[in-house]
């Protein structure tokens, strides 16, 4: 009788363990599915991204800011000249037509550190 009671509790623990293991596997599968969906969404969000290099952007003028450091020969840009407009002008100068109304956002990325080997 005592052995059956102990055996019954052990069997109950084994059943509980199996149920928890099945629940964990189900959660792992669900987590894998969610991670795949997030990855797919990230890829979809980046599908229309274009990275331009070599483009020198002029900062937008701030009220009260002075351009004392600008070279006299440099083209003076309009205070309302946005990054989008500057990119559009750059692309037109390269013979690339782009409707700026299709551009959702345009922003500069930090420059990569360029290491110049000294000879």
* Mean pLDDT, the chain, integer: 78
Residue, of 94 and 18, whose pLDDT is higher: 18
Q: Tens digit of pLDDT for each residue in 37-62? A: 999 888 887 777 778 877 888 776 55
Residue 72: the pLDDT is: 37
In the chain, helix, strand, coil percent, each to 5?
50, 0, 50
Residue 75: the pLDDT is: 45
Number of domains the chain is built from? 2
Residue 35: the pLDDT is: 96
| Residue 71: band (very low, low, confident or very high) from pLDDT cuts 50, 70, 90 | very low
Query: 42 and 14, same structural domain?
Result: yes
Q: Tens digit of pLDDT for each residue in 94-116? A: 898 888 888 878 877 777 766 66
Are 86 and 58 in contact by the 8 Å Cβ rule? The answer is yes
| Residue 23: band (very low, low, confident or very high) from pLDDT cuts 50, 70, 90 | very high
Query: 22 and 10, same structural domain?
Result: yes
Query: 38 and 55, same structural domain?
Result: no
Query: 56 and 17, same structural domain?
Result: no
Q: Range of 6's domain?
A: 1-47
Does 68 map to a domain?
no
Residue, of 42 and 72, whose pLDDT is higher: 42
Q: Indicate if the alpha-carbon torsion angle 26, 32, 38, 43 is positive or negative.
A: negative
């Amino acid at each position: 009788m005592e052995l059956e009671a102990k055996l019954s509790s052990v069997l109950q623990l084994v059943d509980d363990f199996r149920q928890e293991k099945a629940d964990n596997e189900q959660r792992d599968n669900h987590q894998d599915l969610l991670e795949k969906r997030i990855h797919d969404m990230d890829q979809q969000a980046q599908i229309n991204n274009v990275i331009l290099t070599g483009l020198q952007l002029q900062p937008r003028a701030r009220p009260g800011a002075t351009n004392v450091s600008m070279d006299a020969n440099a083209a003076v840009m309009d205070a309302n000249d946005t990054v989008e407009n500057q990119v559009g002008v750059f692309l037109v100068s390269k013979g690339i037509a782009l409707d700026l109304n299709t551009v959702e956002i345009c922003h500069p990325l930090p420059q990569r550190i360029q290491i110049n080997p000294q000879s």
